Chains A and B, each alone.
Chain A
Amino acid sequence: MDKFIIDNMNLYYGSFHALKNVNLNMPKNKITAFIGPSGCGKSTLLKSLNRMNDLVEGCKITGDIKLDGTDIYSDMDVNVLRKKVGMVFQKANPFPMSVYDNIAFGPRTHGIKKKSELDRIVEESLRDAAIWDELKDRLKKSALGLSGGQQQRLCIARALAVKPEVLLMDEATSALDPISTGKIEELCLKLKDDYTIIMVTHNMQQALRISDNTAFFLLGEMVEYNSTDAVFSSPKDKRTEEYITGRFG
């Protein structure tokens, strides 16, 4: 079953045509990876999936993006959308507050006040993000004192705390060491049982290791989309082949 369906989507930044006629179905409970050189439009597309581009002046989108069949630009409240579609960025961005308050921030915003309920959500989210054992004794300490890898998993836990259905990850491990990267990759593989994950990565091996499907973008065009195994073993398009084998440009 498809979670996101993108149909004839075009995106313009002013007169710049950043995404050209993108058609893409992303299945539920799978990991979809977007790859391509810098400036190809992959992060722009990812941000369009929870309407982060709304804040960019001059950004215009045509075509449809549907989440479970509902158009996210015309038929869905943006707050509802962002509760359903969480995002983790390249650089970990914990709020300057305690570990506990970072996780409780979202649920509190959505009206949960009861301490026992918040305690449960904090523990569950940290457990889901595979960081509970490391942080259970430091819940009241500032999140800014955590290592980069811990901060990133905290951000994943914070995204999970509002019970999203989709997790968008924009180069979420590119600033991390191999051990932290490995933990987050393992985490993604566990999380896909309950969530749909869509990730942008510059790390081909990462896309190969964890994603089910891969889309290759170039100059705003989606050149190829197929199972990750097919894209990396026998790509159909010469441009995909050149990019993934490092012979591009």
Chain B
Amino acid sequence: MREYFDTELLNLNNQLIGMGTLVEKAIRNAVKIIVSNDQELLEKSREQEELINSAEKKIQNHCLRLLLHQAPVANDLRSISAALKMITDLERIGDQAIDIVEMSQYIKNRNNVISVTHIDEMANQASKMVTLSIDAFVKKDFELAKSVSKSDDIIDGLFDRVKVETVEIIERDKALSEEAIDLMLIAKYLERIGDHAVNIAEWVAFSITGSREL
């Protein structure tokens, strides 16, 4: 029964996994660029953002076509509408990853700024949250989605820590003020990525239970 529709839903899942993988890679690359300022990776990141944008459009069209052709209800409707909302968050994460990369180009004294803060830990945490939220969707795992929401406290804690560290940098050396502020902005982007991952997890919950409550 409804084999064609089931295959199409499976395709939608695979497309989401694909977009999720691109976004995870974008954050990982952003982390590497913050630390190492790898220029080759910088170019790749820009290309990757384009891929993320086109994946969003492709998945959006797929969802709209399924809504039009299959008139889904219940679990099917929840999965497709959750997918439509999730790709918006994934695309925003992609934008923020590239914003981080661009911002990091203004930081010249990496050893005096980056290495003395918890920014890399924050980036790893953000990347992990995105991976977990996509995993939760694919596995339809409510508990996993819930764990993403809990991880948000960790990233918020790290953000507060980076804030204090930024103030310390400025207090130590006023010449680093501008770079410290750029670093703070990067931290804010990472904190927002964590929020987007929580949004994704909430839509995963909706696709499973019909409520965004985690």
23 A-B pairs with CB atoms under 8 Å apart are A204-B71, A204-B73, A205-B71, A232-B73, A232-B74, A232-B77, A233-B74, A233-B77, A233-B78, A233-B210, A234-B78, A235-B74, A241-B74, A241-B75, A244-B74, A245-B72, A245-B73, A245-B74, A245-B75, A246-B5, A247-B1, A247-B2, A248-B1
Give the nearest-CB partner of B76 in chain A. Answer: A245
In the complex the two chains form, what is the Cα distance from A233 to B72 in whole Å?
10
Residues of B within 8 A of A240 (CB): 74
Give the nearest-CB partner of A205 in chain B. Answer: B71
Interface residue A208 (Cβ < 8 Å from any Cβ of B): yes
Partner of B1, one of A208, A232, A246: A246
Interface residue B109 (Cβ < 8 Å from any Cβ of A): no
Give the Cβ gap from B199 to chain A, nearest Cβ, in Å. Answer: 20
A residues whose Cβ falls under 8 Å from a Cβ of B: 204-205, 208, 232-235, 240-241, 244-249
Interface residue B209 (Cβ < 8 Å from any Cβ of A): yes
Give the Cβ gap from B74 to chain A, nearest Cβ, in Å. Answer: 5
Number of B residues, CB within 8 Å of A: 13
Q: Are B210 and A234 in contact (CB under 8 A)?
A: yes
Q: Are A246 and B2 in contact (CB under 8 A)?
A: yes
Which of A204, A234, A235, A240 has the most chain B CB atoms closer than 10 A to its own CB?
A234
In the complex the two chains form, what is the Cα distance from A245 to B1 in whole Å?
10
Q: Are A244 and B210 in contact (CB under 8 A)?
A: no
Residues of A within 8 A of B78 (CB): 233-234
In the complex the two chains form, what is the Cα distance from A249 to B74 in whole Å?
17
Give the nearest-CB partner of A236 in chain B. Answer: B210
Give the Cβ gap from B213 to chain A, nearest Cβ, in Å. Answer: 12
Residues of A within 8 A of B76 (CB): 245
Give the Cβ gap from A237 to chain B, nearest Cβ, in Å. Answer: 11
Residues of B within 8 A of A232 (CB): 73-74, 77
Give the Cβ gap from B67 to chain A, nearest Cβ, in Å. Answer: 12
Give the nearest-CB partner of B2 in chain A. Answer: A246
In the complex the two chains form, what is the Cα distance from A97 to B31 in whole Å?
83
Residues of A within 8 A of B77 (CB): 232-233
Contact A245-B2, Cβ < 8 Å, known A232-B73, A234-B74, A235-B74: yes
Residues of B within 8 A of A205 (CB): 71
Give the nearest-CB partner of A246 in chain B. Answer: B2
Which B2-55 residues have a C-beta within 8 angstroms of A? 2, 5
Give the Cβ gap from B214 to chain A, nearest Cβ, in Å. Answer: 16
Give the Cβ gap from A35 to chain B, nearest Cβ, in Å. Answer: 11
In the complex the two chains form, what is the Cα distance from A248 to B73 in whole Å?
14
Give the Cβ gap from A244 to chain B, nearest Cβ, in Å. Answer: 5
Known: A232-B74, A233-B78, A234-B210. 5 other contacts (CB 8 A): A204-B73, A232-B77, A233-B77, A241-B75, A248-B1
